[in-house]
């Protein structure tokens, strides 16, 4: 429970009120009410409902106001730092793209994109080498396209797509026959 000093709007605890008035025997916190607190310039402080936050937004205490004899504390939403949002979006897209690359490699029978690409310089088994070369080329095309589009979004040349929409735009791997 929190209390508010009604003149200064300072937030205090019930114990701080007790310390300020040691000669008064206050009831337990749960029994304190505005009627008995008014003689001490205090009131029970209620909080507004917490607002829903967007990713990376913060929350802080806002203004204190009185309405019909009741005291309320608002919430102040702290906007997300644009640089943090941009980094989070970039990270989300990068993870999705990496997952897309790995999933294609797994579908072709390899552990991940790194494994299949490691065969590109190994001529002992031509099929593995050819797959490695194809996946390495594809990986480069995918990342080049992704960063080109990221720059286009940053510059305002295009709207930011959803992750799902963006994955559908990526080049398709072309494996040798």
pLDDT digits (tens, 9 = 90+) for 1-51: 999 999 999 999 999 999 999 999 999 999 999 999 999 999 999 999 999
CB 77 within 8 A of CB 58: yes
Cβ atoms within 10 Å, residue 132 = 20
Q: Where are the domains of the chain?
A: 2-78, 82-169
Looking at residue 171, its pLDDT comes to 97
- The per-residue pLDDT for range 6-16, each reduced to its tens digit, is 999 999 999 99
CA Rg value for the chain: 30
- The per-residue pLDDT for range 128-165, each reduced to its tens digit, is 999 999 999 999 999 999 999 988 988 889 998 999 99
Looking at residue 77, its pLDDT comes to 96
Reply yes or no on whether the pLDDT at 54 is more than 90: no
Cβ neighbours of residue 56 closer than 8 Å, sequence gap 6 or more: 80, 81, 84, 85, 88
- Judged on CB neighbours under 10 Å (0-12, 13-18, 19+), 112 is middle
Cβ neighbours of residue 25 closer than 8 Å, sequence gap 6 or more: none
- Comparing CA positions, the residue from 56, 53, 55 lying closest to residue 77 is 53
DSSP state of 29: G
């Amino acid at each position: 429970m929190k209390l508010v000093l009604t003149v200064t709007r300072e937030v205090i605890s019930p114990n701080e009120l007790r310390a300020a008035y040691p000669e008064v025997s206050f009831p337990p916190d749960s029994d304190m009410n505005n009627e008995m607190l008014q003689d001490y310039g205090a009131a029970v402080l209620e909080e507004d409902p917490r607002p829903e936050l967007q990713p990376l937004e913060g929350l802080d205490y806002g203004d204190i106001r009185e309405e019909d004899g009741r005291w309320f504390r608002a919430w102040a939403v702290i906007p997300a730092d644009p640089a943090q949002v941009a980094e989070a979006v970039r990270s989300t897209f990068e993870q999705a793209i990496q997952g897309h690359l790995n999933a294609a490699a797994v579908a072709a029978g390899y552990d991940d994109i790194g494994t299949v690409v490691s065969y590109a310089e190994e001529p002992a088994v031509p099929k593995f080498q050819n797959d490695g070369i194809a996946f390495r080329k594809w990986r480069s095309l995918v990342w080049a396209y992704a960063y080109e589009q990221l720059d286009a979004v940053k510059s305002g040349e295009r709207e930011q797509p959803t992750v799902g929409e963006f994955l559908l735009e990526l080049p398709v791997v072309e494996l040798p026959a």
